[in-house]
Amino acid sequence: MAEIPKSRRRWVLPAGLIVVGVLMMVMGYFARGEYASAVWLQLGSAFALFGPLFWAQKRLERGITEVSREVESIRRETAASLDDLREVTLGHVRQRRETDEDAFRRFQEDPTFDNVTRLLERARELGGISRRGVRVRLPGTDFRLRFPFPAEPANGGPPVLEVGLEEENGTRPQDAAGPRVAVRGQLPVPWPAGLSAGEWAAAMAAELQALNRYPGDEQFDPSGALEQLTSLLRLAIETRTRPPSTNGAMPRLRPIIEVPNDEWAITEAGLQSLRSDAAFSVQELFDATTEEAGARLQGDGAVKLREAWRLGQRLFLAPGTVL
């Protein structure tokens, strides 16, 4: 015997109840006696009405079940989509770290204009360096080289990185034989696109000679300055892009201006330790002394704090101020 399809089976019981109800009402119509006739008619109408109600109930239950299944399916799909989104996002983050690492490697292998501006732009994008630029010491001298944000070329000319040469306290370089006048600013040592690092360094050497402060061939080391710049930019980028577990105890740094040694950084907010959460605001650099600040430090740690403290004071003081 062929099986009745499921869709048709749903109608069998309601239809049967309606038929039975109709038959009972017919019997009540022909039944003798008012009581018997009334009973049959009431029973018949009850059965006839129960059939559609039973069908409607089943339809409602089936609809609720289907909606529940759809909701569960949507929930599972949404959870899967969120997991996929997380994996895609993490994939982009890891890929960006690899791109940063490639940029550092290229700069170390070939310190060109494009490679240095790419790293400066990345650090600026992350908010890791000061808007006033970053400073590194020019080995063999007391000067600092300040590397600014890459700027858009003016009048359609070639891009230029407006590197500046300045004194340790942020003032314009002084001629060794001239009068001492402390004025904020830098001596421009521009690095145009297309100019090699060697040609740029030669132009800088000429400026030092004009100031009568060239340290000599053995001491002049522009590559050392670029190595310091690489380390500073790596610090600025990685403290904001690496998971805390890979940074050890290194705190979140404010935008960096200079890194005088391997324990302290001068930021827009003052001094910050690279090995702990110790920090000193610009105001504290002048309200306290290094002896008070470094009371718990001894040996090399105290020496490095004094170095960073003195440099921070000179950098944040008004030009010409005597401590």
Q: Which sign does the torsion angle of CA 308, 129, 232, 184 carry?
A: negative
Residue carrying the six token digits 């577990």: 245
Q: Which residues lie closer than 8 Å to 15 by C-beta, 6 or more apart?
A: 51
Q: Are 38 and 19 in contact (CB under 8 A)?
A: no
pTM across the whole model: 0.71
Averaged pLDDT score across all residues of the chain: 81
- State residue 1's pLDDT score: 47
Nearest alpha carbon to residue 309 among 257, 266, 255, 278 = 266
Q: Is pLDDT at 7 greater than 80 in this prediction?
A: no
Residue carrying the six token digits 């421009």: 188
Q: Is pLDDT at 6 greater than 80 in this prediction?
A: no
- State residue 41's pLDDT score: 62
Alpha helices, DSSP H, located in the chain: 6-30, 34-109, 113-125, 197-210, 222-241, 282-287, 290-293, 300-316
Nearest alpha carbon to residue 51 among 26, 17, 20 = 17
- State residue 323's pLDDT score: 46
Q: What's the mean pLDDT in 147-172?
A: 87
- State residue 89's pLDDT score: 75
Q: Is pLDDT at 79 greater than 70 in this prediction?
A: no
Least confident of 13-22, 257-266, 284-293: 13-22
Q: Are 265 and 253 in contact (CB under 8 A)?
A: yes
- % of the chain beyond a pLDDT of 90: 46
The amino acid sitting at 216 is G
Q: Is pLDDT at 91 greater than 80 in this prediction?
A: no
The amino acid sitting at 55 is W
Euclidean distance between CA atoms 126 and 151, whole angstroms? 17
Using a 10 angstrom Cβ sphere, with 0-12 exposed, 13-18 middle and 19 or more buried, the burial of residue 194 is exposed
Question: Which tokens sit at 188?
Answer: 């421009």
Q: Are 166 and 186 in contact (CB under 8 A)?
A: yes
- State residue 319's pLDDT score: 56
Q: What is the pLDDT of residues 11-43, one digit of tens each?
A: 566 666 666 666 666 666 666 666 666 666 666
For the chain, the structural domain boundaries read 94-250, 260-317
**Exposure string (b/e) for 159-171, b if CB count within 10 Å is 16 or more?**
bbbbbbbbbbbbb
Residue carrying the six token digits 């805390």: 244
Question: Which tokens sit at 201?
Answer: 């360094």
